[in-house]
Amino acid sequence: MERTHDQDVSVQVKHVQELSINGVEPPPRYIRKEKDNIDAPINTTTTLSSSIPIIDLHLLSSSSSQEKEKELEKLKSALTSWGIFQAIGHGVPSTLLDELQRTAKEFFDLPMEEKHKYSINFDGKQDWLQGYGNDLIVSEDQVIDWSDRLYLLVKPLDQRNYKLWPQYPTGFREILNEYSMKTHQAAEIILKNMAKLLVLEENYFVDLAADNAPTFARFNYYPPCSRPDLVYGIKPHADGGAITIVLPDKEVEGLQVLKDGQWIKVPIIPDALVVNVADQIEIMSNGEFKSPMHRVITNSEKQRISVAMFYVPEAEKYIAPAPELISEIKPMLFKKMKAEEYADMYFQHSIRGKRAIDFARV
Ligand SMILES: O=C(O)CCC(=O)C(=O)O
Ligand SMILES: [Fe+2]
């Protein structure tokens, strides 16, 4: 994964945090264009928000088969109709969630010079987009998200680039390490039960999170923005890996998911982790599980911080619909390709605001 990027990054942008401090109107390149909008109304009712499934991961490994079956049924409907759910009983201690949020905040609060030590473009080199930065700019007319990020490879362990793991705030490295181990266990439970639901071999999806498979942590920092009506925190997108586990901000909402043509707010549930299916599981499940479009809106008064863990299949692995899920009535919906080919495709299309998975269809 230590690939250097040969993309032209000559167009540099400021960190959003600096723009926000000056309180200026967002510059034109942050203003979304008509083509970036998905023409869907926002559903502001809490009824739909509160119908986003809540799954107790602990019950999925419970000894009572009745409880387990009930939770599995809920998981099935979460994955097939929403592609997103709130995970409780995930085994990550509440104190660790708080510590991770606190360290993330302390990192973004550091002076710019300190954060720049971990810059994506440090020394003019790009380490597969790892480090502190924001959207990679590939064209002059690209619309930029109102967020700064710290993006780090946390697995495979021997590929971690500790030069980009902040030394301050103290304890950052240990906390991220601990958090990544705990969320890995949650990811395994989810992936195992996904295979069960599709009557596939138990490890069919768990292997996607094997020791050699990459996991990335992305700390998202969304400063206040004077024009939430015009500027996205993250534009509408689907994630490109296998699954994503997000620790959302404890106090500030912002994440929305597209469901049946409407944007639905993902509500804050204390200590819950938001889990979403990403494109490569949609492909492998032959479209049974949905990789949902989601976006983050900005807030005029408050900053928001989230931490996303992306579980990504190993570069060399072939991704294709499971043969067991292909039949005369359900033909193969997606082409077979290497995970790294998909990753490249994802990168090229998503940066231009397009859905990569549409280019993988048969
Ligand atoms: O900030 C959030 O809640 C979600 C972030 C997200 O969608 C992402 O990092 O891909
Ligand atoms: Fe996302």
Q: Ligand 1 pocket test: which of 100, 244, 276 has the largest number of ligand atoms within 8 Å of its C-beta? A: 244
**How far is ligand 2, taken at its centre, from the CA of residue 327, in Å?**
31
Tokens of 46: 């809490």
82: which DSSP letter?
I
Total number of domains constituting the chain = 1
**How far is ligand 2, taken at its centre, from the CA of residue 239, in Å?**
5
Q: Which of 277, 309, 298, 290 is nearest to 234 (CA)?
A: 298
Residues 6+ positions from 201 with CB-CB distance below 8 Å:
195
pLDDT tens sequence across 21-76? 766 788 888 888 765 566 677 766 666 767 999 999 999 987 788 999 999 999 99
Distance CA 24, CA 135 (A): 20
pLDDT tens sequence across 179-218? 999 999 999 999 999 999 999 999 999 988 899 999 999 9
User: Residue 1: its pLDDT value, please?
Assistant: 35
Taken in order 158, 273, 41, 23, is the CA torsion positive or negative? negative
- What residues make up the domain containing 166? 6-359
271 backbone φψ class: left, alpha, beta (φ>0; ψ -120 to 50): left
Residue 1 covered by a domain: no
Q: Ligand 1 pocket test: which of 234, 268, 307 has the largest number of ligand atoms within 8 Å of its C-beta? A: 234
Residue 122 covered by a domain: yes
CA–CA–CA angle 35, 355, 84 (5° rounding): 110
Residue 208 covered by a domain: yes
Residue 309 covered by a domain: yes
Residue linked to tokens 């009535």: 329
Model pTM above 0.95: no
Q: What is the mean pLDDT of the chain?
A: 89
- Domain with residue 66: its CATH number is 2.60.120.330
Q: Which residues line ligand 1 at a C-beta cut-off of 6 Å?
A: 218, 220, 234, 239, 246, 248, 255, 294, 296, 306, 308
User: Residue 171: its pLDDT value, please?
Assistant: 96
User: Residue 314: its pLDDT value, please?
Assistant: 95
ipTM: 0.99
Q: Give yes or no for residue 129 having a pLDDT over 80.
A: no
Residue 348 covered by a domain: yes
User: Residue 12: its pLDDT value, please?
Assistant: 52
**How far is ligand 2, taken at its centre, from the CA of residue 329, in Å?**
32
